[in-house]
């Protein structure tokens, strides 16, 4: 997000990649989409007549404006528009929102293909993007104080950054350690924490190095509350009215961007976790069923605590499921909570190995 949308030469294309923290969603196959949704796959996105006004998204935009007003930002109301990704393009004080959130059928399709953002996540992203827009609207990144607190704004933007987990120099708002990705993201995350109602940031971050950033944000909020933005209007990136690709082509492009963990040697570890005798006949069931039922929460937790991009975490969890199915592993029904705890810890360890060494499992 933010500078993620700056130029293809400075980043790899990505969703939550959101042109940003994740790559575009991990896409299954179109056959999983219901019939009433499949009919729109061949339609160009610009012909769908999508509008922000009157859509399910309008209430989130209004909620953001109410939160900004409640914080005393009376002159800052960034324009929101529908586009292909979350983002503030080219350092413009506007907020781009994914088009699929504006229509129930598209939401259904996105949900079938991936885990669509829920209401809580939508507001998290709105607040984060508002942080970028605020930075750009008032050109805060040009000041010496901003650079001292957050770092050089022109620092190269790297998708494959290596964070320091649990560093108290940075707030935590979005999944993983996203504030550590770039000074611009650090500010956006700080703004989002400051803006979030009932975040109780003064208590939560007491004694943290990140507190000085939050106090700066609080001071800037009071100082600029009645000030007109330096950049009053921002230019949009590609709008939904300009998107010539069909819905199907949009999702097919996502297939080409997927990260695949490859064949992982999980056999020994999973046999140790699901160590149930084959002779047992009672109170057991296939382990893969337990894993599939809890896939979303597994992906959510591993993604949040490690920061590994969500599509890759999803592929990792699916690889664990596939191996459990291939091995015919079974789970003791009385120990399901223990299995889930162990699998979560196991997947987290693999994800942290990926962050520090670039691979889930080293040869």
pLDDT of 83-116, one tens digit each? 999 999 888 999 999 999 999 989 888 877 666 7
* Residue ranges covered by each domain of the chain: 2-240, 259-357
Q: How far apart are CA 233 and CA 78, in angstroms?
A: 8
pLDDT-wise least confident of 20-24, 161-165, 344-348: 20-24
pLDDT-wise least confident of 31-40, 41-50, 123-132, 305-314: 31-40
According to the model, what pLDDT value does residue 19 have? 31
- Chain centre to alpha carbon of residue 140: 25
Q: How far apart are CA 247 and CA 263, in angstroms?
A: 31
Query: Which of 215, 176, 209 has the alpha carbon at shortest distance from 193?
Result: 215
Calculate mean pLDDT across residues 308-324.
89
Q: How far apart are CA 204 and CA 33, in angstroms?
A: 42
Q: How far apart are CA 142 and CA 301, in angstroms?
A: 36
What global pTM score does this model have? Answer: 0.83
pLDDT of 208-252, one tens digit each? 999 999 999 999 999 999 999 999 888 998 999 999 999 988 887
The CA-CA-CA angle for residues 303, 311, 326, to 5°, reads: 100
pLDDT of 156-171, one tens digit each? 887 667 788 889 999 9
């Amino acid at each position: 997000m933010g500078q993620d949308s700056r130029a293809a030469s400075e980043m790899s294309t990505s969703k939550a990649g959101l042109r940003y923290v994740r790559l575009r969603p991990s896409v299954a196959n179109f056959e999983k989409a219901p019939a009433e949704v499949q009919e729109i796959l061949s339609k160009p996105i610009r012909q769908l007549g999508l509008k922000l006004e009157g859509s399910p998204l309008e209430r989130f935009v209004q909620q953001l404006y109410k939160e900004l007003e409640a914080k005393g930002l009376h002159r800052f109301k960034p324009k929101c528009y529908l586009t292909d990704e979350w983002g503030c393009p080219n350092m413009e004080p506007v907020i781009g929102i994914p088009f699929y959130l504006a229509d129930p059928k598209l939401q259904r399709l996105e949900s079938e293909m991936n885990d669509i953002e829920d209401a809580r996540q939508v507001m998290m992203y709105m607040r984060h993007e508002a942080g970028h827009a605020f930075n750009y609207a008032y050109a805060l990144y040009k000041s010496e104080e901003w650079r001292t607190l957050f770092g050089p704004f022109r620092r190269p933007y790297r998708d494959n950054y290596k964070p320091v987990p649990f560093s108290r120099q940075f707030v935590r708002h979005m999944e993983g350690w996203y504030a550590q990705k770039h000074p611009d993201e650090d500010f956006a995350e700080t703004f989002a924490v400051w803006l979030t109602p009932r975040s109780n940031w003064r208590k939560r971050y007491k004694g943290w190095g990140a507190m000085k950033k939050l106090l700066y944000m609080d001071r800037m909020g009071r100082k600029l509350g009645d000030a007109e933005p330096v950049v009053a209007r921002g230019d949009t990136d590609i709008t939904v009215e300009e998107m010539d690709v069909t819905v199907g082509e949009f999702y097919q492009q996502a297939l080409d961007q997927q990260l695949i963990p490859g064949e992982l040697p999980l056999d020994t570890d999973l046999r140790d976790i699901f160590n149930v005798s084959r002779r047992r006949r009672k109170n057991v069931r296939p382990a893969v069923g337990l894993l599939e039922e809890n896939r979303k929460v597994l992906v959510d937790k591993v993604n949040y605590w490690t920061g590994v991009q969500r599509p890759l975490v999803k592929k990792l969890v699916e690889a664990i499921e596939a191996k459990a199915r291939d091995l015919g592993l079974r789970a003791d029904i009385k120990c399901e909570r223990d299995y889930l705890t162990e699998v979560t810890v196991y997947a987290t360890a693999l994800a942290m190995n990926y962050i520090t060494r670039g691979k889930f499992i080293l040869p």
